[in-house]
Every structure is written in structure tokens, then in C-alpha cells.
Structure 1
């Protein structure tokens, strides 16, 4: 009886393995897809850049294959003048890899700009998912135009717990303080701030105890008469605001 059961199990395993192989074979349809689902690029202020995107196919053909590209306008946040997507990409003969370039320009950029692109349907071809290129203006050591303002604090009873940083879009510290701790008993302070017009930054206010600024404590960042960040109350260890100086 045991021999019969063993033989049955062996036969079942062979059939199952063959079935899996058949399923695997059937699932390897002709497809073409981007090498990644997410890409990133930075553009120098007032300049242009390009980003190469690789496309893969699971099959190799003896002739060139052309696949059409399109922008997903519903999910693209970048200004239409800041990117140029080619109409198609070619996978050369005797290859399963093609490449195309997306052209980028420093035109009406926000702090973060997304270009979502996809391969258009082709007869007999399964297309991969869309991909997203996130791009931004690269920080520079020089400013075309500087603007000034203030970072204002009204403290609670524990001013010594408070510190701050202003970071550029790549996380580099532009301004930080205080040079020495604020003193408990300080009620308020005003800190001069100078930043670059058009650039993106983030203001991070820290509380070392982790309970933020109790009433009436608050902070605000105002540049050239416009308030770009503010906060108050129990914000825990830190409060972060992203803004673009316009």
C-alpha cells in the first residue's frame, strides 16, 4: 500500500511540476516595460537637463521595434513647459533593450515636480506599469536675487529646548540656530533670514523635550512680507514646513 501511495505522490508531483512549467510558459507573454517605476533628476537654475530611460522587452526580434510613449496628464504635476517626452522609443534589432531621453527645463518649477509617462498599447504586446520622473531645481551656491525676512519666536517657559534649521531641497543646511541655546525665561526673539528668490526650502523647528511650544508659544517665517511657515502647540520633537520663496 505504501508503495502505491509513493508512486501516486511521485506521479502527482511530476504532473504538478509540468503544470507549473506550462503556466510559466503561458505567462511569459510578449511584454515591454520601463527599467524602473521611479526616477529622479535635478536641474541647475536657469538651465536644462536630460534623463535617460531604459525600456526592456522579454523577446528579441530581428528587426527594430517602435513603441509609442504618452504623458499621463491626470497624474503629472510638472508644468508642460518643463519637460519634453519623445513620441516613441525604439528597441533595435537583435536586442531586448532600448533607451530614450526626457528633456527637462527650469520652467515654472515647484519644490517637487512629477512627470508620469507610459507606453501606449501595442497589438500583441503587454505593457508594464507607468513610471514617474520626479525633478526639481538643483540648489546653487549663488543667488540671482536675494530676499530677506525674519524667523520669529514666541516662547513658552522653556525656550532652551528650541532650535531650528532651514534646509535646501536636497537636505543641506542653509541656516541653523541658535548659536547658543535660547534661555529659559526668554519670551520672544526675531532672527534675520536671507534666502534665494525662487528656491525651495524647508523650515524645521525642534523641541528637545518633545512637547513643542505650549500656549502662547508660536513661530513664523516671513520673507519679503509673505508668511511661508508657522506653527504652535504640541508638535512633538519637530515641526517641518516646505515652501518656495516667490
Structure 2
């Protein structure tokens, strides 16, 4: 009889522990997070802009819920005067969605400016990960001053694997190449490049095989005698360098 009682106690304890673990797992699913991990926005020169950010919760409450918003300074590079983040966001009663607005200004903007955003816990609702807003000064429609130079390649034995793109800050392709693949055995190539003074770009070099440029392979982008990007070695499928042109 004692043996049966002992077995029953073990089974009861195991069931209780399992139920507690299930309760803990279910409560861990009650969280609030941003709709996206990353956001993008632009600001016209000498102007302002705004960006709406949506948050969602996995639960619905019969009352309003207010979640504090904190700027993650470890993930933030933008001038403190170039962004204005509200201190909280409200998810209305009987809803799982809230929206808040970030105001942006053209103040000391670099090529890519970042604001890290965090939500704080509220009544047992846990926050998700930090989200990042990237913002930049929108390029003007006209190029007031052109800056010229070259994109130079020293190839390994497989020049045909290499191609490139130069993108503007909005992701548009400014120039790319080659129009036909570089021929294997080509030692080097120098490509004329002209970009706009003051604007932000990214140079992306691709290797279709995925092993980059073996020694002595390398590349460099030079405009008006100044080097803006360079690289080589095993960079995998691609390597990207962001820069701002200055005459």
C-alpha cells in the first residue's frame, strides 16, 4: 500500500510540475513587439519628416495599455536633435495594435543615421527585441557638382566571377558592371566613375562563386584623388562599403 501511495505521489508531482511548466510557457508568449525589425525614412534637405511605427501585442485587454518607449543609445548614431521619439505608445482597449510617430529633422545627418527603439514591460507583457530606424537626407533632384574618378580592380585568376554596383542612399543603382563579364585571365581593369558631391552611396562588389578576390586580387574606388572604398580577400558572395562624397 505504501508503495502504491509513493507511486501516486510521484505521478501527482510530475503532473503538477508539467502544468507549471506549461503555464510558464504560455505566459512567455504574452509579449509586445514592433511590427518590423528595421524601418527606413528620408528627410528632404532643410526640412522635417515623420515616420509611423506600429506595435503589436499577442494578447487583447479590455482596458488601454501604455507601453514605455526607450531610445537604445547603444544602437543610436543620429544627432539627438534630428529625431523626436515619444515616451510611450498606447494599445487601445480590445485591440492588439498601437501606433506612434517619430519626428525627424535634417540636422547633421550622415549617410545612414540610426535610432534604436525598445519597448518596456507592462503588467506581465514582455517586450520583443530592439528595432532600428534608419534615416537619411533625401538627395536633391539635381547634381550641383560632379566628382570623377575610377573604380580599379586587380583580379585573381577568375575575373569573370566579379561584378559591381554603386547604389544611392535610397537603393537605386547609379552604375553597375561590367556589361559583359570580365574575361578570366584579365589582370586588371579601371572603370571611370562620376558621382555627385555631398551625396551618399554604397559600393557593392559581388563574386558569383562566393570566395571573393584571392591574393593579389583587390579593388578600390578613388574620386578626385581620394579613396572612398577598398577591399579584397575572401569576402564571400559580396562586400559593401557606404560612403559620402566630398569634393
Same fold (TM over 0.5): yes
For residues 204-215 of structure 1, the aligned pairs below 5 Å read 204=205, 206=207, 212=213, 214-215=215-216
Note closer, same or farther for the CA distance 1:23–1:199 as it changes in structure 2 (3 Å cut). Answer: same
Where does structure 2 lack aligned partners over 5 or more consecutive residues?
Answer: none
**Over aligned residues, Cα RMSD in angstroms?**
4.2
Instruction: Measure, in 1, the Cα distance between the counterparts of 2:121 and 2:209.
Output: 54
Match of residue 51 from structure 2 = 50
Which structure is larger by alpha-carbon Rg, 1 or 2?
Answer: 1
CA contact (8 A) 1:65 1:93 kept: yes
Match of residue 141 from structure 2 = 142
For residues 1-246 of structure 1, the aligned pairs below 5 Å read 12=11, 19-25=17-23, 28=27, 33-36=32-35, 38-43=37-42, 45-46=44-45, 48-56=49-57, 58-62=59-63, 64-120=64-120, 124-137=123-136, 142-153=141-152, 155=154, 161=160, 163-169=163-169, 171-180=171-180, 189-196=189-196, 197-204=198-205, 206=207, 212=213, 214-215=215-216, 218-232=218-232, 234-235=233-234, 240-246=239-245
1:113 is displaced (CA, Å) by: 3.6
Q: Which is worse superposed, 127-136 or 179-188? A: 179-188
Instruction: Measure, in 2, the Cα distance between the counterparts of 1:147 and 1:73.
Output: 36
Instruction: Measure, in 1, the Cα distance between the counterparts of 2:104 and 2:74.
Output: 19
TM-score scaled by structure 1? 0.69
CA contact (8 A) 1:149 1:224 kept: yes
Instruction: Measure, in 1, the Cα distance between the counterparts of 2:42 and 2:85.
Output: 16
CA contact (8 A) 1:212 1:238 kept: no
Aligned length: 235
Q: Deviation digits for residues 100-125 of structure 1, max 9, x if unmatched?
A: 22233454444444322223455x44
TM-score scaled by structure 2? 0.68
Note closer, same or farther for the CA distance 1:210–1:90 as it changes in structure 2 (3 Å cut). Answer: closer
1:235 is displaced (CA, Å) by: 4.0
Instruction: Measure, in 1, the Cα distance between the counterparts of 2:86 and 2:177.
Output: 47
CA contact (8 A) 2:111 2:137 kept: no
Note closer, same or farther for the CA distance 1:50–1:156 as it changes in structure 2 (3 Å cut). Answer: closer
Note closer, same or farther for the CA distance 1:156–1:77 as it changes in structure 2 (3 Å cut). Answer: closer
Instruction: Measure, in 1, the Cα distance between the counterparts of 2:156 and 2:58.
Output: 64
1:228 is displaced (CA, Å) by: 0.6
CA contact (8 A) 1:43 1:106 kept: no
